[in-house]
A = this chain, B = another copy of it.
Amino acid sequence: MIKITEKPIDIQKVIDTVSSLGAGAVNVFIGTVRNNAHGKNVLWLEYEAYESMAVSEIRKIIDEASHRWPLLGWGVSHRVGTLKPGEVSVVVAVSSPHRQQAFEACEFIIDTLKEKAPIFKKEIFEDGEEWVSARPNGVTAYN
């Protein structure tokens, strides 16, 4: 399951999609919105995705992970829209026969997703906003 959604992510549902009778291990990564960045309060985040390409890039990442580790199930759900601190932005779950495989594959998937999936977030502070990682110095633009 690969999903880009405006609705809150149901973590248990993502976990359910990876369950397998041959699996001894499930690893789940949950990304949540922090209430601070660069020492400033974050009011909320705006996420946007180039959805068709994001799904296609995530599928490639899953394919590579499936070649490298004996995955029995996997699920990725990424939220878009307005997210407040504490809300879940992304869930990655994988199942495998043994636990080290599950840890490694899950970390590979989230690391590579963050590098390659065309998804963009803007942090909104009290005194401005900033597209995360967009500029070299990371200063807040558009006050």
A19 touches B31 (CB 8 A): no
A35 to B71, CA, bound (A): 16
Name A26's contact: one of B25, B29, B107 (CB within 8 Å).
Answer: B29
Check B103–A29 contact: CB distance below 8 A: yes
Residues on the B chain within 8 Å of A103, using CB: 29, 103, 106-107
Could you show 27 A-B contacts with beta carbons less than 8 Å apart?
A: A11-B12, A11-B15, A12-B12, A15-B30, A19-B32, A22-B34, A22-B35, A23-B32, A24-B32, A25-B30, A26-B30, A26-B31, A26-B32, A27-B29, A27-B106, A28-B30, A29-B99, A29-B102, A29-B103, A31-B99, A32-B95, A34-B97, A99-B107, A100-B107, A103-B103, A103-B106, A103-B107
Structural contact, A27 and B24, CB atoms closer than 8 A: no
For the complex, give the distance between the alpha carbons of A107 and B25 in Å.
12
The yes or no answer to A36 lying at the interface (CB within 8 A) is: yes
Q: Does A85 contact B (CB under 8 A)?
A: yes
